[in-house]
Chain A
Amino acid sequence: MTTNPAADAACLVIEGLHGLYGDSHVLQGVSLKVDRGEVVTIIGRNGAGKTTTLRAVMGLLDKRSGSINVWGREVIAEAPERIAKLGVAYVPEERGIYATLDVTENLLLPPRVGPGGMSLDEIFRLFPNLRERRRSQGTRLSGGEQQMLAIARVLRTGARLFLLDEPTEGLAPVIVQQIRGAIEMMKQEGHTILLVEQNFRFAQRLADRHYVMERGRIVDMIARADVASQAARIQAYLGI
């Protein structure tokens, strides 16, 4: 694909990121790197700062400092809409489905930020449930359908870096499978994904690498090949 992988292999580089949420100093010097086409997870216990890290990348954190580099561009001081325009898509933990918009309107809301997004037809083929419910008010959907909608919504835009926050939280196994299918498809198409996930079994099958987060810092990195041999360490991190 690229002629000079060394020059533009890095898709997202975070260095020394500090972030405040209200008065609490949630991010205390986060550093991590995601290469183009990788699926990387951030794992860790509740309150470690995983969601806040994604929000910081998206520009949604009022007080942030350090460095966030997206495709070679420093975005630490950029507004969210500018960051999105670089081809970054965000699927928030709470899913962010608009109650005042129906399913189709929710899908059509995000403007295109790059070439190669999926068409509405392709999206409905991937998530047939959404086609059936396309006239329903967004928040009338089941939790699983809302999650499908949240992911489908950013597949249309042509974004290349996806920030997914706990896409399987509270969902039935059959829905989790569908979500996994969608993420695998995104990976095959060469998209880059930074995934926050509590469900390690889910994350393990998708991710190339795992960053472990504790109290606002990245404390460890485990490659896919080492997951089996490091099982005890991972369990300790997650407090299982």
Chain B
Amino acid sequence: MLSLQALSGQLLVGLINGSFYALLSLGFAVIFGLLGIINVAQGTFYMLGAFGSWMLLNYTGIGYWPALILSPLIAAIVGMAIEKTLIARVYKLDHIYGLLLTYGIMMFIQGMFVYWFATAGRPYPVPIDLRGGFDLDFLFLPKYRAWVVLASLVFCFATWFAIEKTSLGRTLRAATENPQLTRAFGINVPALLTFGFGAGVALAGFAGVLAAPIYSVSPLMGGELVITVFAVVVVGGMGSILGAIVTGLTLGVVEGLTKLFYPPGANMVIFVIMFIVLLIKPAGLFGRER
């Protein structure tokens, strides 16, 4: 029989997964919207974020809270260097070249980490301030998981706000819509693209640090996730900021609930939804037809 405990438990698991889907697909949407690059390496930057915090802790003793800022920053710097040297060269080509290039980058970075660290997961301790949890009668809510959902929501909202309501966002939207004309107004669009790529990567890195204490840190952690994230992005609509956030959270919950009602379907429910959405609304739920 369906119990409240089981239901709320799966809802929580779904929300947690959805938080990661939302953050990752948001970074994906920022990068695709701005640069037109299908960044398959987004999962790799998530892994870099998680590994960054693990290395900071184990090699330098720097703990979770500083790592939450430092690690995404490092990932962003790596990402911006890659954008400047490699990705900037394929903007004028078909989308498929960006996809292939970032796929190559993913294989390269992931391969290096497998070589150095092997594939076994490494634990990352939950920060002391967030140990324990709240007993809500029907559900034991670990503090850390509540924090993940909260932090993800705050970051998603902040990103949406920055793009829709600030002057930086205004410039980013203009650069997305008409890069040539935007340059003719005196705006350095190439630099803006590098920054945008860095911001998208930082979102993935941030998700990686959040994930480290929940899932173990492993070189392959991003490769598995990116497939699901890709499906989320397609359902939400390529490049749609709001679509990425809403779809990420919703599909996480849907996946969690499927685990409860029909466990064998849990692994494929997101892809089934993607299939249906593509049939009915090929631009995605929040996407604009091009």
Give me the interface of A with B, judged by CB distance under 8 Å. 58-60, 79-81, 83-85, 89-90, 92, 96, 98-101, 105, 108-111, 113, 154, 157
Q: Is the CB of B177 within 8 A of A98?
A: yes
Q: Is the CB of B184 within 8 A of A59?
A: yes
Query: How far does the Cβ of B277 sit from chain A's closest Cβ, in whole Å?
Result: 23
Query: How far does the Cβ of B174 sit from chain A's closest Cβ, in whole Å?
Result: 5
Dominant SS among interface residues on chain B: helix
18 further contact pairs, Cβ within 8 A, besides A84-B184, A110-B185? A58-B184, A60-B184, A80-B184, A81-B184, A81-B185, A81-B187, A83-B184, A85-B186, A90-B184, A96-B181, A98-B173, A100-B176, A101-B177, A108-B170, A109-B171, A110-B186, A111-B187, A154-B185
Residues of chain B lying within 8 A (CB to CB) of residue A89: 185
Q: Whole-angstrom distance between the alpha carbons of A83 and B188 in the complex?
A: 11
Q: Whole-angstrom distance between the alpha carbons of A96 and B188 in the complex?
A: 17
Residues of chain A lying within 8 A (CB to CB) of residue B177: 98-101
Other-chain contact of A96, B167, B171, B178, B186 (Cβ < 8 Å): B178
Q: Is the CB of A101 within 8 A of B186?
A: no
Is B183 among interface residues, defined by CB-CB distance under 8 A? yes
Interface centre among A108, A109, A113 (most CB of B within 10 A): A109
10 A-B pairs with least C-beta separation? A84-B186, A110-B185, A80-B183, A96-B181, A100-B173, A80-B184, A90-B184, A81-B183, A85-B186, A81-B188
Whether A98 touches B174, Cβ cut-off 8 Å, given contacts A60-B180, A108-B167, is: yes
Give me the interface of B with A, judged by CB distance under 8 Å. 167, 170-171, 173-174, 176-178, 180-189
5 contacts between A and B (CB under 8 A): A60-B183, A90-B184, A98-B178, A108-B167, A109-B182
Beta-carbon nearest neighbor of B171 in chain A: A109
Residues of chain A lying within 8 A (CB to CB) of residue B189: 81
Beta-carbon nearest neighbor of A80 in chain B: B183
Q: Is the CB of A79 within 8 A of B170?
A: no
Residues of chain A lying within 8 A (CB to CB) of residue B188: 81
Residues of chain A lying within 8 A (CB to CB) of residue B178: 96, 98
Q: Whole-angstrom distance between the alpha carbons of A108 and B185 in the complex?
A: 11
Residues of chain B lying within 8 A (CB to CB) of residue A96: 178, 181
Interface centre among B167, B183, B184 (most CB of A within 10 A): B184
Residues of chain B lying within 8 A (CB to CB) of residue A98: 173-174, 177-178
Residues of chain A lying within 8 A (CB to CB) of residue B184: 58-60, 80-81, 83-84, 90, 92
Interface centre among A58, A85, A92, A100 (most CB of B within 10 A): A100
Whether A109 touches B170, Cβ cut-off 8 Å, given contacts A100-B176, A100-B177, is: yes
Query: How far does the Cβ of B210 sit from chain A's closest Cβ, in whole Å?
Result: 30
Residues of chain A lying within 8 A (CB to CB) of residue B170: 101, 105, 108-109
Beta-carbon nearest neighbor of A86 in chain B: B186
Q: Whole-angstrom distance between the alpha carbons of A79 and B184 in the complex?
A: 9
Q: Is the CB of A101 within 8 A of B173?
A: yes
